[in-house]
Structure 1
Amino acid sequence: MLSRDRARREAAWDKLEAEFANSSRVEGVIFGRVKGGFTVNLSGAVAFLPGSQVDIRPVRDVAPLMDIPQPFQILKMDRRRGNIVVSRRAVLEETRAEQRSGLIQSLAEGQVITGVVKNITDYGAFVDLGGIDGLLHVTDLSYRRVGHPSEMIAIGDSVTVQIIRINRDTQRISLGMKQLETDPWEGVGAKYPVGAKFMGRVTNITEYGAFVELEPGIEGLVHVSEMSWTKKNVHPGKIVS
C-alpha cells in the first residue's frame, strides 16, 4: 500500500524543520477557520494560525486573506504531535521594521515634511510620515498657548511639520509646527518697551496672578500685587476673568 498524501506531508515537514531552524519565512495558504484561529496549508503540512497572529491590528474580515499564497513565520513546531503554529503578524512587523529603518535613514533634523495626523492625545499628536510615526508635542504646535491639540488639528489632517530631533536608536522622531513660523519673541523688547501701555486678553488665572496675551505667542504676567492699589489679598479671579 502506498500513500502519496503522507509522502507529501513528510517531505513538507522535512523542509519546514530546516526553515524553522534557520528562522526563515515559509509560504502558505489560509484555507479554513477553527476555534481561536485559522488553518494554513504549508505545501502539504497543516499549521495553526492563532487569531492574534493574523495582523498587526485586529482584523474583522479575514476573507480577503484566504486562499492566496503569502509568507508566514513558524513560531513553534512539534513533529511527534503533528503541531505547527505560524504567524503572519511576525512577518508584517519585521517588514514594517525594515521599512521604518530605511525611512528613518532618509530623514534629517531640520527637514520639512508633510504627514497625516494619525492619533491625538492630551500631550500631542502622532503624525504618519509615510511608514513611520513622529510625535508632534502640544508645546510645538504653536507659539501661542494651546490647551489641547484638537484645538488646532484633527485626525486625518494633512500637516506640514519640521523634524526637530531624530533618535535613530529608539527610532523616535520629534516634530514641530511652530518652528515653521516666525518666533514672535524676536525683537519683542523694541515692540513692547518698558513703561508702554497695551491692551491684552486674559488667557489664564492662577493664585499669584493672571496671564495676559498681547498677541498670539506673547503673554505677560500681571502679578496679583500689581493688579490694584486698594484690593489687597484678593484672588486674581475676583478682579479679572
Structure 2
Amino acid sequence: MVLELDVENRRLALGHKQLEENPWDTFETVFAVGTIHRCTILSKTDKMATLELPYGIEGFSSLKNLAKEDGTLAEVGETLDFKVTEFSKEEKRIMLSHTKTWQEKNEPAKEQKPKAGSSAKPAQSQPERGATLGDLDALAALKEQMEGRN
C-alpha cells in the first residue's frame, strides 16, 4: 500500500493500485505472438469463438481460424492447439488460430515452388559459393587463349 500525506491541505490518501502488478505484463510473455497453446472452445457465435487458454484466460478466434486440416470446423468443447496471432495488452485481447498450426507445417514445401507466370526470381536456398581450384584453372586457360589471339 502507498500512504500519501498532504500536510498543507490536511489530506491523507491511501492507495494500493500502484503496487499491484498488471497480470497482462506477464501474459504478454507467456502468450507472445507465434506461441502455441492448448485451448478449449467455450462458445461460438456467427463470427467468433471464445477459447479458454491455460490459467483460465479467455482468447478469441474467428470462425475461419477454427478450420481443421480435414476441412471441418472445430466445435464447442473441443480442445486443440492454437497459435497466438495477435496480443493486445491495452485491449486485453488475445486472438488465436487453430488453422495456422497446421497450415504453416505445409507451407515450406509450397514456398520453394515458383508460382506460374511469376517473373520474380526465387530466393536462393544455398549460399553463393566462392571460386574453386577448377574455376581458377578454367580462367587461366581462357586467359591464355585470349592473350594468344592478341
TM-score normalised to the size of structure 1? 0.32
TM-score normalised to the size of structure 2? 0.49
- Structure having the larger proportion of residues in strand: 1
- Structure having the larger proportion of residues in helix: 2
Larger RCO: 1 or 2 (CA < 8 Å, sep 6+): 2
